[in-house]
């Protein structure tokens, strides 16, 4: 399993998640996006609508009717009721339940760097987990050391 650590130094999760989601859905996969609260869920929902004027990333909120059919599901918890094998943690709070997925995208702002370091150290000793670190370099993402 792979965990991608995204240090958000320029753009917030609401601007990064749609690009990740577009790639996952474009590959025919499903994504669970874990949010910290209803406010962040609403911001992400709007961002998924507005990624590009010509596109819309279909999504829903966990607990709604038909959420099992959603390619992207926004949730306060880690239950992939849409059958997702990919998870994006948008609130900067690592959850070990993310290890049940094939791949996790862990996004953290500067204020959550200590959380990310603790998660990295905890996962580094797990032979079943490959950790990757990504940082923003101008407008592009670069894999760090």
27-46 mean pLDDT:
94
pLDDT tens for residues 119-141?
999 999 899 999 999 988 777 88
50: pLDDT confidence band, cut at 50, 70 and 90?
A: confident
Give the model's pLDDT for residue 53.
65
pLDDT band at 24 (very low <50, low <70, confident <90, very high): very high
pLDDT of residue 61 exceeding 70: yes
The answer to whether 105 and 89 have CB atoms below 8 angstroms apart is yes
pLDDT of residue 52: 65
Q: pLDDT digits over 70-123, tens only?
A: 999 999 999 999 999 999 999 999 999 999 999 999 999 999 999 999 999 999
Q: Does domain 2-143 have CATH number 3.40.50.10110?
A: yes
Mean pLDDT (the chain) is 91
pTM higher than 0.75, yes or no?
Answer: yes
């Amino acid at each position: 399993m792979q965990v991608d650590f995204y240090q958000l130094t320029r753009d917030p999760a609401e601007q990064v998640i749609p690009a990740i989601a577009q790639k996952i859905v474009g590959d025919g996969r499903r994504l669970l996006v874990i949010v910290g609260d209803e406010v962040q869920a609403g911001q992400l929902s709007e961002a998924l609508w507005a990624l590009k004027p010509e596109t819309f990333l279909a999504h829903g909120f966990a607990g709604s009717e038909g959420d099992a059919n959603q390619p992207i599901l926004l949730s306060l918890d880690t239950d992939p009721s849409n059958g997702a094998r990919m998870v994006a943690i948008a609130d900067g709070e690592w959850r070990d339940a993310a290890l049940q997925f094939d791949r996790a995208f862990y996004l953290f702002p500067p204020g959550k760097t200590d959380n990310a370091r603790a998660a990295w150290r905890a996962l580094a000793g797990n032979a079943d987990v490959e950790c990757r670190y990504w940082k923003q370099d101008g407008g592009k993402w670069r894999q760090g050391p």
